[in-house]
Amino acid sequence: MGKELAQTTAPVIAAKIGPHTTPEACLKRADELYKHDGNWQEALSVLHVGLQNRKTKSNMIILEKLMVLMIDICAEKLTTLHLKEDIGYFRNLCQYQSMNLLEKVLTYLRNKCERVFLDLEKEYGQQNLMKFLSDTQEV
C-alpha cells in the first residue's frame, strides 16, 4: 500500500513544485511544509521528488541534507513512507562517488532509530514495548 501511495502522490507533488525545480528549492519547500504547516506527508513527498531529481546526482551536500531531513521526519512520525525506497536510491548514488557520505547518513539513521526506541522504552516500559514489537512481527 505504501508504494502505491508513493507512486500516486509523487507525480502530483512534482506537478505542484514544477519539473525543473532545483534540489535546494525542494529542501526549502519540504522544510516549510513540515515546520510551518505541519504537513509531514507532503514534505516527505517533496523530499522524495527532490532526491529523484536528475540535478541532485552531482550535488552530494544537498543529497545529505535531503536524507537527514527525511530521516528526521520519519523518525518523529514513526513512519517509513518513501524512506525505504530513497535509502536504496541514495545508496546507489553514493556507491561510486562517496562511501563516506553513505556511512555518515546510515550512522545518523541508526542513531536516530536508537534514540526513538529508547524514548519509546522510557514512555511505555520495556515489557510493553517488547510485547508490542513481538505482536507486530506476527501480523
The per-residue pLDDT for range 110-124, each reduced to its tens digit, is: 999 999 989 988 888
pLDDT > 90 fraction of the chain, expressed in percent and rounded: 35
Dihedral (Cα; 52, 53, 59, 65), 10-degree rounding: -60
**pLDDT 10s digits, 34-77:** 999 889 999 999 999 888 877 767 788 888 999 999 999 999 98
Domain that holds residue 35: 2-138
d(CA 5, CA 69): 20
Return the pLDDT at 15: 44
d(CA 105, CA 25): 21
Return the pLDDT at 16: 55
Return the pLDDT at 111: 96
Residue 60 near residue 105 (C-beta atoms within 8 A): no
Return the pLDDT at 138: 45
Return the pLDDT at 79: 86
Q: Structural domain tally of the chain?
A: 1
Return the pLDDT at 42: 93
Q: Work out the pLDDT band at 139, boundaries 50, 70, 90.
A: very low
Characterize 57-72 residue by residue with b for buried, 16 or more Cβ atoms within 10 angstroms of its Cβ, and e for exposed.
Answer: eeebebbbbbbbbbbe
Selection from 18-22, 54-58, 77-81, 129-133 with the highest mean pLDDT? 77-81
Return the pLDDT at 73: 93
